[in-house]
A and B are shown apart, each in its own frame.
Chain A
Amino acid sequence: MRAEDYLRAHRIHNRLHQSRLIQAVLERAARRHAENPAIEPTTLAAEETERLMDEWFAEVLEAKDLPHDRIATQGRVALLLCDGPQKWPYAFLNSQANSDEFLKAMRDSSIEAGPDMALSSMVPREIDLGLITEAAGETLERMEKWPLLRLMLLWVLFVGALFGIFYATR
């Protein structure tokens, strides 16, 4: 069941092809289960599918020495980008059905998040704000260091506004 789900997650929808692959996976898993019955059959089936895929990707991509993580990632990305499961429905995990066109498509497919970097610096330049603004900025920065002063100034403004309204309306 898990092997079937995993194949379907790879968009392998052809029933006949699925059955063949599941049979191959289960045979390998069963052999290992016989050797080591303590391991869960689900785990064994998943591991055997992965192993099969690693072998197949290494062969298809002609990259035999890559570690498991790299080949698994690279292989799946290549398969996705060349639309492998749709264009060559019998090719997946099947070395006999790999046409030259499929092999070329797989080997040419790679993903690039960005082109080669051409690093450069973009350093902010100070803007000369002019004398008055500079002075105002310094005052503000000083006030920010003295929160009590800021609070007092705010209250003075508020009381001043109240007086203004009182004067204007009396």
Chain B
Amino acid sequence: MNSSRPHVHQFILPQRLRRRRALFYSSVLLLTSTATWFMADLLWRDGGITGLEWLLLVLFVILFAQIAVGFVTAMLGFYVINRGGDRQRITRTIDWESEDISLASTAIVMPVFNEDVSRVFEGLRVIYRSLEATKKLEPFDFFILSDSNKPNQWIQEEIAWVELCKQVNGLGRIFYRKRRHQINKKAGNVADFLRRWGKRYRYMVVLDADSIMTGEAIVKLVAMMERNPQTGLIQTAPRLIYGESLYARMQQFANRLYSPIFLAGLNYWQQQDGNYWGHNAIIRVQPFMEHCALPDLPGSEPFGGRILSHDFVEAALMRKAGWHVWLAHDIEGTYEEGPPSLIDSAKRDRRWCQGNMQHAWLIAARGFRPANRFHLFMGVMAYVSCPLWLLFLVLSTIHVFNQVLDQSTRVLGVEAYTQIFGRIIEIPEALVLFIFTMLLLFLPKIISVIATAQRSADAQRFGGRGSLALSAVMEIFFSSLLAPVHMMFNSKFVFFSLLGQGVSWVTQRRGVEDGTDWREAIITHGGQTFFGLVWGVSSFILLPAFFWWLSPVLAGLVLSIPVSIILSKGSLGAHARRIGIFLTPEETQPPHELSRLTQNLAECYKHMRPIEALRNDYGLLQAVLDPYINAVHVSMLRQRRQSEESRDWFSLLRHRLLSEGPSQLTTKETLALLLDAESMIWLHEELWRQPSSSLAEWWRLAMRQYNVLTAAPITALYR
């Protein structure tokens, strides 16, 4: 590392950082201890603590500590923002106004896997144009790293890539690479890129298929890396955008309103020991290649084997090697999209759950920094806490059941008053603990709302003070209803992951308004509703007072089906937007890049779609029939020497494709043909050579229809 450069920024002194962390962890400890004291006292009242009560207390401590971590982070963030921002942050290392920013070779990589092609390439167009507008495009190259394994998807990506290159004059600057074998998912995709081209670049900006970053944000990231040669990775905090359903809009509103204080708090105590979230981040290529290639974990999947959630581990490895990892929480112009419904969100959680649980292996790994261990632990706890919460509630029910049987229910009665230093206060102690917990859960949100409402301009960006307050109340109401549903989902995921099982999902049937239909909701949430009903009825029979304590959890479970359906509706999302609910600054004052993308996508989706009979194999149709697309596709393939056997097999496949049509081939066979340059050339020539009588009806229809679809001389981007 070159630390002798004149402008190297000096960050926080170690003793000051230690003080910050001491404050953070002490606050968490203090809050947890206070709550534990209340809880222990509550459990103690019926004459000592039983084994079950000890278990309840231990679970309470674990769960409460997690709530305290969130609360303290938010409060520290609030303190920092109120003081005008932390002086110790990576974005302060460059004076944007007066300095001439030097840049270095940077690859902008976007790994894609069967994504909406129009969204991917229009997103890339916007990023490219935005970077071009900064007049600093020169050091940047763009890579679409495709792992798509659907024939249609692959061909559409190739077409879209060529069109984009032509339109923005990006040939030789925007590249497309399709992997023949999709090994190790996204981490393997990026590693493959690095092995081929990593040496050419000093930095890479990693994007997701739904990421958008402004040119200014990218330029700033590169400049910050140049200014801080000890920094290996800078993660930005992407904002959620383009939410259409009520659920997605609610998530993006919450993300936009509440996250600034959490992120500022996170940066306050973690500093250069930051984390990596897998995208919208810049990485110094050389150390990443040297230190962040991931080995397999002991055992096989789901617990061991390939590391599924690679990002946290890569950050830990980068730190272990001595490179700084920063969170640029205050950098503007970095966006991503969220899931459109509760069920989609659960599906994403299912993937993340398995990956995060694997991190349990790494918490005690030698050489990792304590902060990275903390990140890994919190990642595990994000999912493991759900079954623990469920267990806590179930054990609480059993506890009440025991007390009712023993006829010692007085603990929940009126005489259970709060005692502080021997003075009895006439408030039921359980209520004090309840209010204390609620305060920790909701105070950061309330503070965010008040702080935003105080600044008139900021409030206007959320639709005005009235809209802001109403949206926040609605968000708190719905998120409270959703919390037990997430608890049930994640408990199931943890349980199934431990057993090495996958979770099955219902095939979605989209209605006119889009969103979750009743069948899907009933099958997905039916178990949760049933569980909630049985639990509710039995707890009411057991002890009505206990039922009312449980009611917020029970309400979420019992209402999960209608809530899931309502929140998934795009029409309700649009209506909410019209009346000013869940508005975000990105909607009220959209940045140029987002407006541009909205317009472009609207244009793309207007294009005529292929007729039903041709739609399923439209990619193959174009690759064989269209002379240009065939040529582009062939020129992207590597010529391979074939054995006699494979030559015969390919010959058979080709003849079958032309005489029987693509429906007679499996996806694997279609992909094999698409990967074979010789076959693709032969197919194109033979299709145009052979008399119609020897071609399958599907191809005859394709030849008649294709000229209609290509009336406009462009290779359109289809959704």
Chain A interface residues toward B at CB < 8 A = 2, 5-6, 8-11, 13, 40, 42-43, 46-47, 49-50, 69, 72-77, 79-81, 83, 85-86, 109-130, 132-134, 136-138, 140-141, 144, 165, 168-169
Contacts and interface: CB of A to CB of B under 8 A. Distances in A.
B175 interface: yes
Contacts of A132: 364
Given A129-B365, A169-B398, A76 B628 contact: yes
A10 B197 contact: no
Interface string B357-384: 0000111111100000000000000000
Nearest to B172: A112
Nearest to B295: A124
A125 B288 CA distance: 12
B632 interface: yes
Interface stretch (B14-22, B296-304, B453-461): B296-304
A2 B688 contact: yes
A30 B707 CA distance: 26
Contacts of B555: none
**Residue from A116, A121, A122, A134 having most chain B Cβ neighbours under 10 A:** A122
Given A10-B628, A133-B364, A46 B143 contact: no
The 10 lowest CB-CB distance pairs between A and B, nearest first, are: A137-B298, A76-B631, A118-B199, A130-B364, A128-B366, A11-B713, A124-B295, A140-B299, A46-B689, A80-B628
19 contacts: A5-B707, A10-B627, A73-B634, A74-B631, A85-B713, A113-B175, A114-B197, A115-B175, A115-B200, A118-B200, A119-B196, A120-B198, A120-B289, A122-B195, A129-B362, A129-B364, A130-B364, A133-B361, A133-B365
A137 B299 contact: yes
A9 B299 CA distance: 55
B171 A81 contact: yes
Contacts of A115: 141, 172, 175, 197, 200
Contacts of B297: 137
B707 A9 contact: yes
Contacts of A116: 200
Contacts of A110: 171
Which among B165, B177, B630, B631 has the highest number of chain A CB atoms within 10 Å? B631
B628 A137 contact: no
Contacts, number: 170
B423 interface: no
Nearest to A111: B635
Interface in B273-309: 289, 291, 293-300, 303-304
Nearest to B300: A144
B293 A124 contact: yes
A123 B289 CA distance: 8
B685 A123 contact: no
A62 to B, nearest CB: 18
Mostly, the A contact residues are helix
A132 B631 CA distance: 57
Contacts of A86: 713
A88 to B, nearest CB: 13
Contact of A121 (B195, B317, B681, B690): B195
Given A9-B626, A10-B628, A169 B402 contact: yes
A72 B631 contact: yes
A146 to B, nearest CB: 13
Nearest to A43: B689
B710 A11 contact: yes
Contacts of B200: 115-116, 118
Contacts of A85: 713
A124 B635 CA distance: 33
A111 B176 CA distance: 10
A49 B398 CA distance: 83
B690 A112 contact: no
Contacts of B690: 40, 42-43
B328 to A, nearest CB: 25
B6 interface: no
B701 interface: no
A136 B295 CA distance: 17
Given A69-B634, A76-B631, 8 more contacts: A42-B692, A74-B635, A77-B628, A77-B632, A80-B632, A129-B366, A144-B299, A169-B402
Contacts of B304: 137, 140-141
B713 A77 contact: no
Residue among A42, A47, A79 having the largest count of chain B Cβ atoms under 10 Å: A42
B628 A168 contact: no
A3 to B, nearest CB: 9
A168 B398 CA distance: 7
Nearest to B177: A114
A126 B291 CA distance: 10
B705 to A, nearest CB: 11
Nearest to B629: A80
Nearest to A89: B713
A39 to B, nearest CB: 10
A140 to B, nearest CB: 4
A142 to B, nearest CB: 10
Contacts of A5: 703, 707
Contact of A123 (B293, B636, B703): B293
A93 to B, nearest CB: 13
A124 B317 CA distance: 11
B175 A114 contact: yes
B635 A77 contact: yes
Given A11-B713, A127-B362, A137-B297, A73 B681 contact: yes
Interface in B147-199: 162, 165-166, 171-172, 175-177, 191, 194-199
Contacts of A126: 295
A72 B681 CA distance: 9
A115 B175 CA distance: 8
Interface string B617-639: 00000000111101110111000
A112 B174 CA distance: 9
Contact of B631 (A49, A50, A80, A168): A80
Contacts of A127: 295, 317, 362, 365
Given A127-B295, A137-B361, A43 B691 contact: yes
A113 B176 contact: yes
Contact of B689 (A13, A47, A121): A47
B706 interface: yes
A113 B628 contact: no
